[in-house]
Structure 1
């Protein structure tokens, strides 16, 4: 391999290699170092990530992270049972809440997906549905150009979620979710976080 193979990695002041996107701000670096790509298997944890990924669509992930605590306050800690009870009055309050990203389609998707999450409990639950689409083989990217934006598994999971009543769950967003919760390890090969999830040998 040549230096060009690892051109997307940046060596931080701590001597650790990270992809460029994770080396731009303290917030992104801390998220990358402690959370991104680590396994999430609880219903509430996956519901939160699904919601945050939908809010990120068309925007920067850093913006979502900056507003994450506001999102948690606004959406009852992403407890699907509580969010499923939100009504039109709550939608109006959310649209007036400066702590979150005020996009009505995305807000309504969260409420809809909370109800779909509860319905799924009778069929194994959200975690079982999502993790049943874990690919059989991992990815081994050297550069960001080798990381796909979607996969056969994200296409299949997107379809399964839509069939279960979820909205705002396109295959590209779902692939980002799969990366974030450790279903695939797209840490670049020379990143200090490669293999940290424990999901892949």
Structure 2
């Protein structure tokens, strides 16, 4: 009789254990399919959307694994969008908008601390961009350069103008054999002219 009374209890315990394992596994899997995203926004009252859905402008968000688009916008400021990939690791994104009208400039004037952070971020981005450009185009470190009959410098890319990290090397010539001299100068320094976007112009 005691065994008959224990059997329902044993079955109930087994069922409970199975339920705990199943629910626990579901929570682990669900948690593992998300990543933590920390967003810092300036202006702090901008409208922020994640994949088209409005979210808090600053703070922590839970995002599913995969590719997402974050967009910040506010009247008086340039709209900015960035696409990122969430793979389970923690992410941090700065949504910093820059004023493009009198209203935006007035806001930055009235919020000097946030404007200072914007300037710092702009400086950091510029430095990082320059580092990547130098790594991609070592010739930059020697520009501008004045040679025999030519002047070498660089500017934003003429063939890829929408790429902020592409350049064109400009060669201004003012002697008959200046182009050959410029090419010789590049080759002597180990730069392959065939890998550079070179724009020639002649002083008349």
> What TM-score does the superposition give when structure 2 sets the normalisation length?
0.26
Higher relative contact order (Cα pairs below 8 Å, separated by 6+ residues): 1
Larger Rg computed on CA atoms = 2
Higher strand share: 2
TM-score by length of 1: 0.26
| Structure number having the greater helix percentage | 1
